[in-house]
Amino acid sequence: MTLLVKGKDAENFISRQASNSLKDSCYAAFLKPKGQIVSLCFIEKSNGDLEITCQNPELLKEHLEKFIIVDDVEIEISDKEQNPKVQLEGFAEDQSIIKLEEKRPGVLEKYVDFTKGCFPGQEVLSKFKNIGLKKKEERSKKFTDEALEIFAQAKNNQEDLDPAIDLLKRALKENPRNEDAYESLGVMLAKQEKFPAAIAIMQQLEMINPKNQMALMNLSIFYMKIGDKETAEEYKAKGTVLKFQEALKETAT
């Protein structure tokens, strides 16, 4: 089921409550002042109205109606079936979106626009972004640098890399978008001849940044190591095309 929000003030009203800037369609959260989740949603504009897909329409309707004072807004529950492409994260009752982010990195990026106007919970999230996330990124870089120092001093014994691998996993837990940590972890796992694990790490790096040339190059090498020549050639071709495109950009500038 979905919520249908109608009336001439519908868009402005929802915009004041939602954590994301309203577009033709977007994910957004409705939060309490301290960042606890009321609902995670997918919002679509439809002929001047707003259709909100969420996991508990009755609860969200009750929450939103508390804020209707003089707005020309009407909220009703629709029987429209949920778009199968919409993927909403599950959460516990009164769980903060910050705690959910720590368990499911990427939640804030998906549901929150830190550049939009005020919305409930914005102050808490801004502090987390400006202080908490920055500290996490700093710790992630520190763990990565320490891992690379160990790698540089490691001998041929594969077990010598275990402490560095542990540090890189900690780095990625702190910052799941640390590209250097992904690349280094993939290389070290390959040094231990754990090629399937190394491939999985490089694929995650490719998902984060499809234009990361090192991810494509390493995937080509690792697939060749496990005897999958066809996939290795595919990644090699991708890397060649990307390298050519980057060279064209440099020539143009």
**pLDDT at residue 131 in the model:** 86
Residue 214's φ and ψ, nearest 5 degrees, are: -65, -35
Q: Give which of 213, 207, 206, 216 is closest to 236, Cα–Cα.
A: 216
In three-state secondary structure terms, 148 is helix
Instruction: Give residue 133's pLDDT band: very low, low, confident or very high (50, 70, 90).
Output: confident
Give the residue carrying structure tokens 């984060």: 208
Distance of CA 154 to the CA centre of its chain: 33
The count of other CB atoms within 10 Å of the CB of residue 55 is 15
Instruction: Give residue 193's pLDDT band: very low, low, confident or very high (50, 70, 90).
Output: very high
**pLDDT at residue 149 in the model:** 95
What are the structural domain ranges in the chain? 2-120, 133-252
For 84, counting Cβ atoms within 10 Å of its Cβ (0-12 exposed, 13-18 middle, 19+ buried), the class is: exposed
Q: CATH number for the 2-120 domain, one of 3.40.50.1000, 3.60.21.10, 3.40.50.300, 3.30.70.1400?
A: 3.30.70.1400
pLDDT tens column, 140-162 = 999 999 999 999 988 777 778 99
pLDDT tens column, 9-39 = 999 999 999 999 999 999 999 999 999 999 9
Query: Matching CATH topology for 2-120 and 133-252?
Result: no
Report field, pTM of the whole predicted structure over 0.75: no
* Beta strand pairing call for 2-6 and 37-46: unpaired
Instruction: Give residue 249's pLDDT band: very low, low, confident or very high (50, 70, 90).
Output: confident
- The domain defined by 133-252 folds into 1.25.40
